Structure 1
């Protein structure tokens, strides 16, 4: 939780509590408030529109889409068989490559507004491209403590991402990802760890501190950042009902006004099984490294002292064509990269209704 100087407005408590490696797959990135305005996001007995997109096939090989509320992972073809918020992995980490988790640092009422296309020139090759803005509805940039994502379609928080999908043979799927994102404040926008907030750590100078009444956390956060992300995922169906998935990503983050940069890395490996005990049921075991600060340059620092690891398993039981139940559990060792942190254990029982 972040506490500001008494002379400054307080950021929502969940702005820090919402960033961590324990997040569930279906959990909004920053639950409880709209990061575009820092205002509460609904409340008890309220209904809000989480995601909205429109897809228009122009031909069998070319599709365009546009949306006001979407994540990049909603657009590109999934490579791992457990990449589903409702039927697959129960953690945010396990299902998708970290390189496509660049959503603009937003949540339920403030996901990316953008457009793009999917082009499949053959059954073996596909290309997807999307541009999105996390600040499109904001007309005026009033600063960190009012509109932290900036303002406008092209002047605030934004991301452009591409995925090249390859299918060299019928049993192998490959996804190669690139994303470039810009944030008006010092965040990654992935929702994959506490390093999302004040992502590049440095010691603010006197002038930076003076702007926020000596609050070092706010001074560190109030710096624009660019992130270039690269990643690759491959799934091999080496048996009729069993597949192996491998995934890895590197995120290269640089502050624009401070000589500081940080490289983040993440990888995972998973086994997926179909028709376990009954047709339609699935299960998986996934192990990997959550997003971790691999190296720093310039005046950036790395406070972490240990490499975190993630171990997850789930079982998706189909009650019928419309209802499924997924019990699952995952363990995070040295969570957030600190050896003093106890192992985190997260269990979930997810019920999904599909119509």
Structure 2
């Protein structure tokens, strides 16, 4: 059945009967004393009723709530002109249902078709009462008989329309992709390029090359019980990581997919409820913290929407750890919590790798999220050999010499994130984070021949994101990102040339405007600026231009 049809039916039924069975309050009151219909009159009504097209209005999924007392309707008061009529319908026939918020919304306009649908609902209720031997007021029966005659054409047409809908629904069920699986898709076309910028201590200009690539995703959501979800994402693409030429991850775009159009199963997990407040995720491949954790960023569109850059999309703490493991999400009233474990090389049988012996991260988050407009959360991440993935920085003088897997790193990261919708067209989000990191062994620098010592790293980052939804057109979004990607503020690590590891503080500014041409096509031009790219003030500012077009189906 049409969802819209079923939603209008209960409300309009009460409205119709309130307006038609009682022309005014006096008539309604007078009905209290009306004589009951005889058995013969009731049988005649049933015979007449059976000549009309039967329409089944019973819907087990109907979200409306049955009203047993008119005082349960918050927007109906004894001073309303139809109060006595409504009370009579509730007490005598049970012919009224309200919205879930216990409102009646009696001032809503209705069409002739809605009139007929509401009339039919009360006819069906009256028919049921007669069949069960319940006494019916004769005056009500007469009014309904007249109305049924007047609206016979509409009632018959409604029955035909319902039959047609049932036939179409049956056809779709017979020809659908799967009875348990829904298919969604997203295709991103991206034009991007570095407009200006330097690398390698300012000695080289970054090549100014414009690229055009795509990111394509097909997502299968399969449910076996109606509450669980087996999620499968098949992906491919050609959008490059600009880190390759800019020599800093700070240049990477959120929709980068440098797969040379090779198709793979990028994400695979199974989600199911443990009880009404707790759900679990089994991450088989490509798992990420945002699968089961609220990132509290209004601009987080996972690359296909929202922020254009990796840094602007979400808090860097959510990049520390990936691939396979387990996750949990739960609620305690207005509080939300998430916890999980992810191993980067969980499928490898080699020494120092695998589910428990290789790189891993564990995350816990606890937040206060009373509604969709506000949320604040504390996040903690502990990991082994997963610092580099979430640093969003080369750790100047360190990242070029070795990676996590060579020297070994431990980290404890602490962060605070929030989102606040201050008004209809303005949302502010943000985060701040600190990582206490350690390298686990020294390393010989092949360039200088010296030894890079082991030691500690203090790493900080922060950002404020501003979102302006629906400012020009419904579905549009303007966004601004201001912040500092992770940088080392303090360290006791000595490099191979005898100097102390240090980094300059970078600064990230990003702006974009997401414009929907249709419900399924949107284009987003934007610009990204990074001061002191690669955390090196010797490099001039990095400017990246982007035009992203997203198709969803």
Provide the alpha-carbon RMSD of the alignment.
2.7
Contact 1:197 1:221 in 2 (8 A): no
CA distance in 1, matches of 2:421, 2:491: 38
* Residues 1:336 and 1:298: Cα distance change in structure 2 (over 3 Å): closer
Choose which of 276, 287, 302 in structure 1 pairs with 2:501: 302
**Aligned partners of 2:374, 2:463: CA distance in 1, in Å?**
17
Asked if 1:56 corresponds to 2:256, the answer is no
Q: Map 1:62-101; keep pairs closer than 5 Å.
A: 62-67=278-283, 68-85=285-302, 86-101=304-319
2:462 aligns to what?
Answer: 267
**Which residue pairs with 2:249 in the alignment?**
20
Match of 1:204 in 2: none
Quick one: distance in 1 between partners of 2:287 and 2:396? 19
Show CA shifts across 1:143-186 (max 9, x none): xxxxxxx41100001010111121257742112110011018xx
1:338 aligns with 2:540: no
Of 389, 395, 400 in structure 2, the residue corresponding to residue 189 of structure 1 is 389
2:438 equivalent to 1:254:
yes
Larger strand proportion of the pair: 1
- 1:188-221 Cα offsets, whole Å, 9 max, x none, are 212612229945x9xxxxxxxxxxxxxxx35997
Query: How many Å apart are 1:299 and its aligned residue?
Result: 4.1
Matched, 1:278 2:507: no
| Separation in structure 1 between the aligned mates of residue 486 and residue 406 of structure 2, nearest angstrom | 22
Pick from 113, 118, 134 the counterpart of residue 329 of structure 2: 118
Task: Look up the match of 1:46.
Answer: 262
Q: Secondary structure at the match of 2:251?
A: coil
Please tell me whether residue 324 in structure 1 is matched to residue 518 in structure 2. Answer: no
Superposed displacement of residue 121, structure 1: 1.8
Change in 2 beyond 3 A, CA 1:291/1:129: same
What 5-or-longer segments of structure 2 have no aligned partner?
Answer: 1-198, 200-240, 443-453
Structure showing greater relative contact order (alpha-carbon pairs closer than 8 Å, 6 or more residues apart): 1
Q: TM-score, normalised by structure 2?
A: 0.50
8 Å Cα contact 1:243-1:273 kept in structure 2 = yes
Helix, strand or coil: the match of 2:357? coil
Distance 1:21 1:294 in 2: 17
Q: 1:323 to 1:152 in 2, by over 3 A?
A: same
3-state SS of 2:355 partner: coil
2:357 pairs with 1:151 = no
Give 1:232's match in structure 2, choosing from 405, 416, 419. Answer: 416
Larger radius of gyration: 2
Q: Secondary structure at the match of 1:99?
A: helix
Corresponding position of 1:5: none
Return the offset for 1:235.
1.7
Partner SS, residue 534 of structure 2: helix
Structure 1: how far apart are the matches of 2:301 and 2:519?
17
More helix as a share of residues: 2
